[in-house]
Amino acid sequence: MTEAEWPACEDPRDLLPALLQPGSPRKQWLFACACCRGVWPMISALGRKAVEVVERYAEGGTDDEPRAAFGTFRPKRSIRRGAGGVQAAEAVGYLGMPWLYPGTYPMRPLVEAVARSTAEAQAKTAPWRDVRRRQCDLLRELLRNPEIDGPTVDPSWLARHGGAARALAESIYSDRTFGHLPILADALEEAGCDNGDLLNHLRGPGPHVRGCWAVDLLLGKE
């Protein structure tokens, strides 16, 4: 995909192949969880807990916690009243397939099913085109165009001023305080960063979620 086509794309099916490459399960899990967070008001308390468990699993947790969480989750019993509740519950159910039915549900169809179900949930109250465009924005939040070389991080940016930029990036990541990303951009700029792609992404409107390619780059995550 060209440099111009990537930011203009409005169909997530054209961007998903970049996410679904072998060897990147963390990003795949985080995208699926971010899709679920996009319909958070439509998900039951039990479903939200399950999504949070999968997020921890994506960061290197064991199977024990999600196995326990999905052992008590059943989509048909966890539907929240209101528009989109059925589809939102189904999305969480798809998220739990590896633990509900071990060894029978590969990652690619899982991610695609979660994305489709959450889009269908949002489409109950918003135009389909807007819903799909938001999923494209979410994919661009997690990934840069793989056909174009990305920025590199000068370690000095993170070390200057007592490591202020690194500490801020770690805090934003752990606490989900993505509203502080423009402050992180300012701290990096003061430390000598002049990379427009990186700074503009941090200052951009988002959506910003865990797995943000810019924060991951700064923290040395996959």
**How far is it, in rounded angstroms, from Cα 24 to Cα 26?**
6
Q: For the segment 136-173, what is each residue's pLDDT rounded down to a tens digit? A: 999 999 998 888 888 899 999 999 999 999 999 999 99
Give the pLDDT confidence score for residue 203 in this predicted structure: 97
Q: For the segment 1-13, what is each residue's pLDDT rounded down to a tens digit? A: 788 899 999 999 9
Token pair 């929240």 is found at 80
pLDDT band at 23 (very low <50, low <70, confident <90, very high): confident
Using the predicted structure, report yes or no on whether residue 104 has a pLDDT greater than 80: no
Using the predicted structure, report yes or no on whether residue 22 has a pLDDT greater than 80: no
133 closest CA partner among 194, 207, 201, 80: 207
Running DSSP on this structure, what letter comes out for residue 43? B
Question: Which pTM value belongs to this model?
Answer: 0.92
Q: For the segment 63-100, what is each residue's pLDDT rounded down to a tens digit? A: 999 999 888 777 666 677 788 899 999 999 999 999 98
Q: SS3 for 10-30, per residue?
A: CCHHHHHHHHCCCCCHHHHHH
Residue 219, classed as helix, strand or coil, is helix
Report whether 97 contacts 55 (CB < 8 A): no
